Amino acid sequence: MFCVHCGRPDAEGEHPGCRGPRAALEPPRFCPECARRMVVQVTPVGWSARCSRHGDTTSAARTG
Amino acid sequence: MTAAADERTHDSAPADDVLAVAREQVLERGVGLTEEQVLAVLRLADDRLDDLLALAHEVRMRWCGPEVEVEGIISLKTGGCPEDCHFCSQSGRFPTPVRSAWLDIPGLVEAARQTALTGATEFCIVAAVRGPDARLLSQVREGIKAIRESGNDIQIACSLGMLTQEQVDELVAMGVHRYNHNLETARSHFPNVVTTHSWEERWDTLRMVREAGMEVCSGGILGMGETPEQRAEFAVQLAELDPHEVPMNFLIPQPGTPYEAYEPIEGREALKLVAAFRLALPRTMLRFAGGRELTLGDLGAEKGMLGGINAIIVGNYLTNLGRPAQRDLDMLVDLKMPIKALGDTL
């Protein structure tokens, strides 16, 4: 699995910039399955992200 | 001496205490602080912060009233911008993780619906561009038409970069009532932040917007390496512009941008800035915008609302997430600050 904020493997290194308060204000940018950069749309109440290989995910799916 | 300068020298307050001067000048007479006075406020010791916030709140209540304008924003066109604004993750010139995206019309209508459900009276459509081309203006036109056809009467603002006179006129014809174009920072600091266009070009767009009868919305981002003197300079340059609204953002350092490693402004400093800008702009709508979550947290946001702020963006921002809108709405209830109703703004 890959970090949704920097695209590096989750298990690799500390990811200090990916787990701080700033990262909490970021929607996912990289696909957790393949680390491709996703097309992300932020809306007033959520976000949606599309990976060209793994399809769409939304904030509702993440929290629901 | 100008009339404004003459007004400011009318002095019955102790000259060595800027808060006493501000009480007489700003609170009693509604005359904003000068650049030198704003700088003195920014240099106040931290143990004067509560007094400063209390005065700024009094000024806001006296000259603006208790209501709070609530707004939602949406990015219609994300990323791929040709400009090099050093703070921005949407510049195509920096290796940021933000990819280009266009929001379709149904998505825009839904975003406007979500915003209206929060009680917001203002919905701002934003695009990351130097200025709008025919395709973007067409998308805005179709989007506004679809929002209206959905039965949503929320007021619509736009932020589409620099405009020509023809484009200004087109936006007026579409029913856009307010236009956002941030000056971003002090004129003297702007070349350190943006090199692909000038502060003066931004000013020109704002002038055309005002002359066309749209409300002017212009603020900026604090924490981009500007000095205290430049913060004071920026406050009075905004006062000179005399916009209807000033959005105050605090830098969220964005990965991949030149400002990636900048430290966010410390909370007390941010609150001091809020109050100082209120004292420079006693009658202007001062809006909490991006970065308050990182800089101030929940408690700081409340203090800001009690320190001069009278408008907020609720929910998410363009590429960053905010705190849930309901938390801000609950905060306003707790603070007994009524949300401005749509009928009040027409």
pLDDT, averaged in runs of 10, over chain B (346 residues): 50 76 98 98 97 98 97 98 98 97 97 96 98 97 98 97 98 98 98 98 98 98 98 98 98 95 95 98 97 90 97 96 94 95 62
CA dist B185 and B233 (Å) reads: 9
Which pTM does this prediction carry?
Answer: 0.94
Choose, out of B94, B96, B98, B154, the residue to mutate when testing the contact with A (most A CBs < 10 Å): B98
Spans of all domains in chain B: 63-339
Q: Complex ipTM, two decimals?
A: 0.93
Instruction: State the DSSP code for B100.
Output: P
Instruction: State the DSSP code for B255.
Output: T
Chain B CB contacts of A27 under 8 Å are: 319, 321
pLDDT the model gives residue B13: 60
Does the distance separating the beta carbons of B318 and A40 come in below 8 Å? Answer: no
What is the mean pLDDT of the segment spanning A4-28? Answer: 90
Q: Report the greatest alpha carbon distance in chain B.
A: 59
pLDDT the model gives residue A64: 45
pLDDT the model gives residue B346: 40
Residue of A nearest to B80 (CA): A39
Chain B CB contacts of A7 under 8 Å are: 97
Does the distance separating the beta carbons of A39 and B99 come in below 8 Å? Answer: yes
What is the mean pLDDT of the segment spanning A12-21? Answer: 86
Does the distance separating the beta carbons of B101 and A39 come in below 8 Å? Answer: yes
A27, amino acid identity: P
Contact by Cβ (8 Å): B297, A27: no
* DSSP-derived secondary structure for B301-341: HHHHHTTT--EEE-S--SSS--S-HHHHHHHHHHTT-PBPP
Does the distance separating the beta carbons of A44 and B314 come in below 8 Å? Answer: yes
The two three-digit tokens of residue B219, written as one number: 């603020």
The answer for residues whose C-beta is within 8 angstroms of residue A30's C-beta and 6 or more apart is A2, A3, A4, A5, A6, A7, A36, A37, A38, B97
CATH number of the B63-339 domain:
3.20.20.70
Contact by Cβ (8 Å): A38, A10: no
CA dist B46 and B53 (Å) reads: 11
Does the distance separating the beta carbons of B75 and A17 come in below 8 Å? Answer: no
Partner residues linked to B215 by β-bridges: B178
pLDDT the model gives residue A60: 86
Does the distance separating the beta carbons of B74 and A43 come in below 8 Å? Answer: yes
CA dist B136 and B81 (Å) reads: 13
pLDDT the model gives residue B16: 81
B6-41 burial: b if 16+ Cβ within 10 Å, else e: eebeeeebeeeebbebbbebbbeeebbbbbebbbbb
